[in-house]
Structure 1
């Protein structure tokens, strides 16, 4: 007598799908529960406030001193590296632990995963920068001859707001390299190379002949120089540096999206 095989159990398709809001919440939990995130944010805040205070104290006896807005924004050339590295390790950490497989199983739409992580990293860095700027403004106020002229947005609100956007952009640059390279060391090296090493290399051409001046002039299209121009008080032409910064954000993120879609986790 032949035993009958049990009929296969058919499960009804679930009507529930992971919404983008839930995906954002999931990414926020992953990012904000990492010790490396808080260490990076803490280092960024400490460097920004500390360097601003040192500059304010050092220049307080030099006539009128440095403009208060410049005092707050000056540490960006240092803190940008921490922002970019944070964006890189947030992504590559998932690959090193294998958590990326669980993430893509829960949400197969890989573009949505990249977008959610980018949003969380950018908002986290932006919020940290806003708080850091506020603290730095209060601490450095006694050492500046004049306070920030809030009545002139071009010399106060605009450069500070673009400073926040620049820090978020540096973090997104790291996110893009993280998805593209997947290796923590490789993504950090690429981020530091673009933000720090490449500007130094191009600046060496200042001692070259006129035939090489085009290399030196191309440095303005690097993200750090674009950010410096965006955050300079009183800058009138913001379109070109804004497009440059946008290109450095969108380019790596698009390449990271292509890599995420075309390669197995």
Structure 2
């Protein structure tokens, strides 16, 4: 009886080593940039940034121009930071709600690589968008400001603007970390908004409680919003402490998200 030799069987599983990191980055970029929620979030960020900067420029055009031109561009960050954080959260939780995360982790078993690739793509997307927004805002507001940005003084121009770009990426990465940690879109958004918006207001209310509670108000300096504000202040010199604070608020959620991703089933 003749027996036909069986040919090599093709595995239906991804290789144990996973995809190359370049392919993983490309795949994450395709997923993120083809989501309508991504473009809606970036569009809202652009509209808020340019619109608020323009309103501030118009409001101060009839005054002595006491607000620095750089601050006119950076002022909308206190609002757009929420959109950035929410974008980071929904990019992750959207995959859990649709079940796509299972396909992602099947193609790439190295869960840390998945988190890193998604974080890089989201951060770069937000940074590029912020640079474009700043350029458009400067073009729109320049005719309305009494004095232009002093590019000859980096501490009053390129440094705070650069930190503004970094801060927006950091807010987005916080959302990514909370997304992996909580997996629920509503929960991740609630925590992100709570940390970025609600918590600073709550701590500032302790100022009316008297001097014995001023330590609570001072603790607000270590929140991500206050750290970003210190970094983007024109002429600021002592940048190490706020930079480390902002970095801690990025590393912390991402590390917790990585632990949750590795220890829980998709």
Q: TM-score, normalised by structure 1?
A: 0.95
Worse-superposed segment, 7-16 or 155-164: 7-16
Task: Report what 2:210 is aligned to.
Answer: 209
Please say if residues 87 and 174 of structure 1, whose CA atoms lie closer than 8 Å, have aligned partners that are also in contact: yes
Task: Tell me, in whole angstroms, the C-alpha distance in 1 between the residues paired with 2:84 and 2:26.
Answer: 21
Task: Tell me, in whole angstroms, the C-alpha distance in 1 between the residues paired with 2:29 and 2:226.
Answer: 30
Task: Tell me, in whole angstroms, the C-alpha distance in 1 between the residues paired with 2:225 and 2:103.
Answer: 35
- Distance change in 2, residues 1:213/1:24 (3 Å): same
Task: Tell me, in whole angstroms, the C-alpha distance in 2 between the residues paired with 1:62 and 1:33.
Answer: 45
Task: Tell me, in whole angstroms, the C-alpha distance in 1 between the residues paired with 2:120 and 2:75.
Answer: 26
Task: Report what 2:126 is aligned to.
Answer: 125
Task: Tell me, in whole angstroms, the C-alpha distance in 2 between the residues paired with 1:205 and 1:15.
Answer: 54
Please say if residues 88 and 176 of structure 2, whose CA atoms lie closer than 8 Å, have aligned partners that are also in contact: yes
Worse-superposed segment, 9-18 or 241-250: 9-18
- The alignment yields a C-alpha RMSD, in angstroms, of 1.9
- Segments of 5+ residues of structure 2 without an aligned counterpart are none
Task: Report what 1:36 is aligned to.
Answer: 37
Task: Tell me, in whole angstroms, the C-alpha distance in 2 between the residues paired with 1:109 and 1:262.
Answer: 12
Task: Tell me, in whole angstroms, the C-alpha distance in 2 between the residues paired with 1:130 and 1:185.
Answer: 29
Task: Report what 1:108 is aligned to.
Answer: 109
Task: Tell me, in whole angstroms, the C-alpha distance in 1 between the residues paired with 2:245 and 2:65.
Answer: 33
Please say if residues 177 and 253 of structure 1, whose CA atoms lie closer than 8 Å, have aligned partners that are also in contact: yes
Please say if residues 161 and 232 of structure 2, whose CA atoms lie closer than 8 Å, have aligned partners that are also in contact: yes
Task: Report what 2:158 is aligned to.
Answer: 157
Please say if residues 163 and 232 of structure 2, whose CA atoms lie closer than 8 Å, have aligned partners that are also in contact: yes
Task: Report what 1:187 is aligned to.
Answer: 188
Matches within 5 A, 1:235-254: 235-254=236-255
Cα displacement (A) at 1:213 = 1.0
- Distance change in 2, residues 1:25/1:220 (3 Å): same
- Distance change in 2, residues 1:166/1:12 (3 Å): same
Cα displacement (A) at 1:16 = 8.5
Task: Report what 2:228 is aligned to.
Answer: 227
Q: TM-score, normalised by structure 2?
A: 0.95
Task: Report what 1:176 is aligned to.
Answer: 177
- Distance change in 2, residues 1:8/1:219 (3 Å): farther
Task: Tell me, in whole angstroms, the C-alpha distance in 2 between the residues paired with 1:188 and 1:6.
Answer: 59
Paired residues, number: 263
- Distance change in 2, residues 1:8/1:217 (3 Å): farther
1:237-260 Cα shifts (integer Å, max 9, x gaps): 000000000000000000000000
Task: Tell me, in whole angstroms, the C-alpha distance in 2 between the residues paired with 1:37 and 1:64.
Answer: 36
- Segments of 5+ residues of structure 1 without an aligned counterpart are none
Please say if residues 122 and 172 of structure 2, whose CA atoms lie closer than 8 Å, have aligned partners that are also in contact: yes
Query: Is residue 2:90 matched to residue 1:66?
Result: no
